[in-house]
Amino acid sequence: MDKRTFIKTTALAGAGAFLLSKNPLQAFPNHSLLNDLNPQPFPQPALPYAYNALEPHIDSKTMEIHYSKHHAAYTKNFNEALANLKIPDSRIEDIFKNTSKYAAVIRNQGGGYYNHSLFWELMAPNAGGEPTGEISAKIIQNFGTFAKFKEDFSKAAASVFGSGWVWLILKDGKLEITSLPNQDNPLMDISPVKGKPVLCFDVWEHAYYLKHQNRRAEYIEAFWNVVNWKKVEGNLLKA
Q: State pLDDT tens for residues 93-116.
A: 999 999 999 999 999 999 999 999
Within 13 Å, how many C-alpha atoms sit on residue 229's CB side? 17
What does the CA dihedral 86, 88, 94, 100 come to, rounded to 10 degrees?
-40
Q: State pLDDT tens for residues 201-225.
A: 999 999 999 999 999 999 999 999 9
Tell me what pLDDT residue 190 has: 98
Over residues 61-89, the mean pLDDT reads 96
Query: pLDDT class for 38, splitting at 50, 70, 90?
Result: low
| Residue 167 near residue 180 (C-beta atoms within 8 A) | yes
Q: Where is pLDDT greater, at 41 or 78?
A: 78
Is the pLDDT score of 13 beyond 50?
no
Tell me what pLDDT residue 88 has: 85
Burial class (CB in 10 A: 0-12, 13-18, 19+), 129: exposed
From CA 108, how far away is CA 113, in angstroms rounded?
A: 9
Spell out the domains of the chain, with CATH numbers in brackets: 3-121 (1.10.287.990), 133-238 (3.55.40.20)
- Of 147, 88, 127, 83, the C-alpha closest to 109 is 83
- Of 98, 103, 114, the C-alpha closest to 43 is 114
Tell me what pLDDT residue 39 has: 60
Is the pLDDT score of 20 beyond 60?
no
Tell me what pLDDT residue 232 has: 98
Over residues 153-178, the mean pLDDT reads 98
Tell me what pLDDT residue 24 has: 36
Over residues 18-37, the mean pLDDT reads 37
Is the pLDDT score of 138 beyond 70?
yes
